[in-house]
């Protein structure tokens, strides 16, 4: 039976796994019917959060999610989507401005076939836009009933704090969640982002618990050909000749041995690690096929022992990252890894 968790201080209860829809559409799996089946299977297994974004396959992902929820399943789902990325060719079809938010939310609502979005998230910070402008527009959408809650994604700790300050001082609706990258190979958010989320009572929906596929069990030394769509599109990201990738391969092989000793798949070890942190509310899984979904579903039931966690800390120390894409998360040294040892209530 699924053990649901409180979504920050909202009173909403969500599943420890969130179904991410980034891989639905032309950039992943273009078969709409299979996408619908994956979503239905996830819901049948107790997942009640679906996360997508307008930019995923330029709206196609939202369309597939809308098809899956149309016909009676919408009320059972905590539906999350995001805005910020470039849509189309117009110079203003991008960003965090009031003008763009008001245009794009209507398009997302149509694609999702719904009257409201539970969690509308700012996909990335926008340096050229005052965050009060963004929060003001989102607050108006809350008051209009088009969105229920406001979230952010991949914000540094300073921007998270700024958002809380703006809401308090200027009478805006408060951001209630953050969606950061977090995995065994990318632990930088343990230093500041996750503690700040805890301090302000924010829910955390972490993305990429498999580190972009590195912890899927498919990558090992001696591999010379791309074995996934992601690797085919971004071969440099997995090129073992690059020093950063070579370091990741060493860690991945050690983690695979540890998972085997613990009687787990590497996938379950990786997702179970993320879910063990007391700040994490839910971890996003992004299956492209039903087989991928089946390999990840059981991870929510995994409980890692302190011995396993200690060994993970030896392989990739707390607060460090082996993923250059997340190098922006390098605040001061993390000295107390015990913060992730407390049980999640």
Contact criterion met (CB below 8 Å) for 339 and 278: yes
Q: Tell me which of 56, 120, 182, 329 is the catalytic residue.
A: 56
Q: How far, in Å, CA of 173 to CA of 168, rounded?
A: 8
- Based on the residue annotation, tell me whether 56 is a catalytic residue of this protein: yes
Which residues are known catalytic residues?
56
């Amino acid at each position: 039976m699924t053990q649901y968790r409180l979504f920050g201080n909202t009173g909403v209860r969500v599943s420890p796994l969130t179904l991410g829809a980034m891989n639905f559409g032309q950039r992943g799996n273009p078969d709409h019917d299979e996408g619908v089946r994956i979503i239905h299977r996830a819901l049948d297994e107790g997942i009640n959060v679906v996360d997508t974004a307008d930019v995923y396959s330029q709206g196609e992902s939202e369309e597939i999610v809308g098809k899956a929820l149309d016909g009676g399943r919408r009320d059972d789902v905590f539906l999350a989507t995001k805005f910020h990325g470039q849509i189309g060719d117009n110079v203003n079809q991008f960003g965090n401005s009031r003008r763009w938010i008001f245009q794009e939310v209507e398009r997302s609502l149509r694609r999702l076939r719904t009257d409201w979005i539970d969690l509308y998230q700012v996909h990335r910070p926008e340096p050229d836009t005052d965050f009060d402008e963004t929060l003001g527009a989102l607050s108006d959408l809350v008051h209009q009933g088009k969105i229920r809650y406001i979230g952010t994604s991949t914000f540094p700790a300073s921007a998270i704090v700024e958002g809380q300050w703006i809401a308090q001082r200027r009478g805006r609706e408060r951001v209630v969640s953050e969606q950061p990258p977090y995995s065994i190979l990318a632990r930088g958010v343990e230093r500041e982002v996750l503690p700040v989320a805890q301090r302000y009572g924010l829910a955390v929906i972490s993305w990429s618990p498999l580190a972009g596929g590195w912890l899927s069990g498919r990558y090992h030394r001696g591999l010379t050909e791309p074995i996934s769509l992601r690797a085919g599109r971004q071969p440099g990201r997995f090129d073992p000749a690059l020093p950063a990738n070579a370091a990741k391969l060493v860690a991945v092989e050690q983690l695979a041995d540890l998972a085997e000793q613990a009687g787990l798949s590497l996938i379950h070890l990786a997702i179970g690690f993320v879910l063990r942190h007391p700040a994490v509310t839910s971890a996003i899984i992004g299956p492209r096929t039903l087989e991928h979904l089946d390999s990840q579903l059981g991870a929510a039931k995994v409980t890692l022992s302190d011995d396993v966690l200690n060994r993970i800390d030896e392989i990739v120390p707390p607060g460090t990252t082996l993923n250059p894409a997340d190098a922006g998360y390098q605040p001061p040294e993390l000295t107390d890894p015990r913060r992730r040892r407390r049980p999640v209530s």
